[in-house]
Amino acid sequence: MTDLRTDTITGGRAGSGAHRVVALCGPYLSGKTSLLESLLFATGAIGRRGSTRAGTSLGDGAVEARKRSMGTELNIASVDYLGDQWTFIDAPGSIEFQHDAFAALTVCDTAVVVCEPSPERVAALAPLLKFIEDRHIPHVFFINKIDSAEARVRDMLAALQTVSTRKLVLRQVPIRRPTADGGEECIGYVDLVSERAYRYRSSGASDLIEMPAEILPREAEARREMLETLSEFDDILLEQLIEDVAPEKSLIYRDMHEEFGADRISPVLLGAGDRENGVRRLLKALRHDAPVAAVTAKRRSLPSNGVVMAECFKVLHQAHAGKLSLCRIWSGAVSDGQSVGGQRIGSLYRPFGQRLDKITTAKAGEIVAFAKIETLASGHALSASGIAPASDFPKADPSVFSLALRARNRNDEVKLSGALQKIVEEDPSLSFQVRAETHELLLRGQGEMHLKVAVDKLAGRYNVAVDTEAPRVAYRETIQAGATQHARYKRQTGGHGQFADIKIEIRPLPRGAGFRFVDKIVGGVVPRNFIPAVEEGLIDYLKEGPLGQQVVDLEVALVDGQYHSVDSSEMSFKMAARIAMSEAMPRCKPVLLEPILKVTVAGPSDSTSRLQRLITGRRGQLLGYDARPGWIGWDEVSALMPEAEVADMIVEIRSVTQGIGTFRTEFDHLQELVGRTADRIVEEAKKRAA
């Protein structure tokens, strides 16, 4: 196909040595890594085309990915193709690893959205497309696995248009032939701009063939649709269509290029990534239409004035190279040994799958790894003025799933926290925290698989084996009745003894009041300096009440007491307070309190009623639903739900929303819990204490 690229629009042209970055993204298992393999093979960057299924692909070389035959991190590879440099970043498709995909999309010039050839599956594209469209990232759709497609391409296109707000422009129509078993197979395609027909080969470039006569009506119809869409943005083309003048191909190419670069249209291409079908056509479309770094920098309001500016989109910690900050250089050129913004650039690498190729210089547009710049984290940019956050870098989604971790070997605890810090720096959509209420080390993230992969990394890369369990809920208890209690602590052992005598009044307080201590001592019957010790003793006791939980929402008043001028001490008053509480509290009708969260669940509107049932099935109280702000065709359901029911809810939410539903929570209140569940919780607390 002839290349009629005009360089006036992008400031870079095919063969000009520009360096462009393409993100391969799309739903789980849609074939991105297989497509990367074919792209690398077709451009001569690898000599053999491996497969993800057999574990021989360049991508997914990480042990965690190989073990599961799925993408768990970014696969990056740069190639030369017809005089230009390209970096492809293949992102994992699982929604649990979506932060990596968003990071790749942030620094790319163009995205290839790789999708399954089935209309029912397009809904799964929604979160990704929302991100791409909100940021005006020019994107091509690649309808993959065309070899096994059952749906018609026009139905697929119609389905895609329902989730895309950009006008879709179909660039190819499939050529189908009947198969021996009475079905149909796609054996090639017609390119709608050049009006040439090609037959796929099982490997290698497609063959140019005579246009099959039977495809002509479909070809004419699809071409007309393509031109009509383009004419919405070009009056000359519109006029030609009205007057039935055949437009020049150069005009069509130019329109395609301009509207794509401005993110007004999205071309749709067909192929089968795992057998190179349609891959060279995709490469040519990218070469023709993908904007160069300077244009992308302008879209993102980043500098491209020749002064060094590099944006870090991902951090890796490697056994040999240490910390690596993967960056896109937006402006200027860097060399090893150079100082930028007070940071010395030690080593420079160009990643190629798992391999790191050492380089000495890199120029604007390239993706490189800087070694050992300790403070350069993802979402930060390095420039002459130092390191600063990039304003539009995506924030990690709030976590939806947690696990409690414990180092299998107690001596590994320090090592564990160091390793966790590195893992979280590599993937900011993970976080960890020591939860004071339950004394647990919690790892939080985007789903069970996400956390399992993190746990694998702890063991495999950092040599820290951990045991995991479901986190405990931070139950509390309170009282439903008051009591008055007298307590005396008295010991006589040899020298001077211990003496404290107090009288307290306990009463319940409203929910949310916490603990209140009231000093009602008159006439110094308990000397002033011992009163804080009484309060301390009370607080100490409240950490674990009669039901084994932290006690809240009560008042304890110190109303009377006695002391001994020699034997009384802070210690003895503290003891007296504890004794008084232990004796009184079981009589105060203790009751368990469970945390209730305000939960907002989001999903496509056709799943709303299922989401509501899911919530009520988990002891949730529906508060209402509304359109999700900024999301076309999505709803948000809000509800009050017990924390215990929310812990593994994401699994069920995903199963009723094609994997794309999500939720966020905030603490709302504590609520009394009685009955069998409460008894079980008290039983468990007792067992733990024992």
33 near Mg ion, judged by CB under 5 A = yes
Shortest CB 205 distance to ligand GTP, Å = 16
Q: Report the residue from 10, 34, 78, 446 that binds ligand GTP according to the rule CB under 6 A.
A: 34
Q: Answer with the entry of ligand GTP, Mg ion, none that 148 interacts with (C-beta below 5 to 8 A by kind).
A: ligand GTP
SS3 67: helix
For ligand GTP, which residue of 20, 145, 288, 380 counts as binding (CB under 6 A)? 145
The yes or no reply on residue 659 touching ligand GTP (CB under 6 A) is: no
- Selected range binding ligand GTP among 89-97, 217-225, 315-323, 377-385, rule: CB under 6 A: 89-97
Tell me if 71 contacts Mg ion by CB under 5 A: yes
Q: Which of 107, 11, 88, 91 is nearest to 42 (CA)?
A: 88
**DSSP reduced 3-state for 133:** helix
How far is it, in rounded angstroms, from Cα 394 to Cα 131? 9
Given a contact cutoff of 8 angstroms between Cβ atoms, the answer to whether 314 and 74 are in contact is yes
Cβ proximity to ligand GTP, 185 vs 225, nearer residue = 185
Q: According to the binding rule CB under 6 A, does residue 428 interact with ligand GTP?
A: no
Residue 227 near residue 254, CB atoms below 8 Å = no
Is 365 a binding residue for ligand GTP by CB under 6 A? The answer is no
Stretch that binds ligand GTP, among 139-147, 376-384, 598-606, 678-686 (CB under 6 A): 139-147
Any residues with CB less than 8 A from the CB of 240 and at least 6 apart, and which?
Answer: 246, 247, 251
- Using the contact rule CB under 5 A, the part of the chain among 33-41, 161-169, 211-219, 379-387 near Mg ion is 33-41
Q: Helix (H, G, I), strand (E, B), or coil: what is residue 146?
A: helix
Structure tokens at 350: 């160009």
Figure out which of the listed residues 144, 378, 402, 600 binds ligand GTP, where binding follows CB under 6 A: 144
Q: Is 263 left (phi over 0), alpha (psi -120 to 50) or beta?
A: left
Selected from 12, 50, 93, 351, the binder of ligand GTP by CB under 6 A is 93
Minimum CB separation of residue 467 from Mg ion in Å reads: 30
The DSSP letter of residue 9 is: T
From CA 559, how far away is CA 545, in angstroms rounded?
22
As measured in angstroms, the least distance from the Cβ of 33 to Mg ion is: 3
Choosing from 12, 21, 30, 314, the residue that interacts with ligand GTP (CB under 6 A) is 30
Binding-site partner at residue 28 among ligand GTP, Mg ion, none, CB < 5 to 8 Å by type: ligand GTP
Give the dihedral sign, CA 242/245/251/253.
positive
β-pairing, 634-642 vs 554-562, is unpaired
Please count the CA atoms within 13 angstroms of the CA of 476 that sit on its side-chain side.
21
273 binds, among Mg ion, ligand GTP, none (CB under 5 to 8 A by kind): ligand GTP
Question: Of Mg ion, ligand GTP, none, which one sits near residue 162, judging by CB under 5 to 8 A according to partner kind?
Answer: none
Q: Which SS3 state, helix, strand or coil, does residue 399 take?
A: coil
Q: Contacting ligand GTP (CB under 6 A), which of 268, 272, 443, 526?
A: 272
Here the tokens at position 562 are: 């006695």
Q: In the set 22, 46, 70, 597, which binds ligand GTP (CB under 6 A)? A: 70
State the nearest-atom distance from the C-beta of 112 to Mg ion, in Å: 13
Q: Tell me the one-letter amino acid at 208.
A: L
User: What type of residue is 553?
Assistant: D
- Is 123 in contact with 658 (CB distance < 8 Å)? yes
Q: Is 304 in the site for ligand GTP (CB under 6 A)?
A: no
If the CB atoms of residues 32 and 444 are measured against Mg ion, the closer one turns out to be 32
Task: Indicate which of Mg ion, ligand GTP, none lies near residue 498 (CB less than 5 to 8 Å, by partner kind).
Answer: none
**Closest distance of CB 72 from Mg ion, Å:** 9
459's CB contacts (< 8 A; 6+ apart) are 465, 466
Helical H segments across 402-553, by residue range: 413-426, 448-462, 531-542
Residue 145: name its binding partner from Mg ion, ligand GTP, none (Cβ under 5 to 8 Å by kind).
ligand GTP
Tokens of 662: 């999500």
Q: How far apart are CA 633 and CA 604, in angstroms?
A: 6
Query: Which residues make up the interface to Mg ion (CB under 5 A)?
Result: 32-33, 71
Query: Which residues make up the interface to ligand GTP (CB under 6 A)?
Result: 28-34, 51-53, 70-71, 92-94, 144-145, 147-148, 272-274
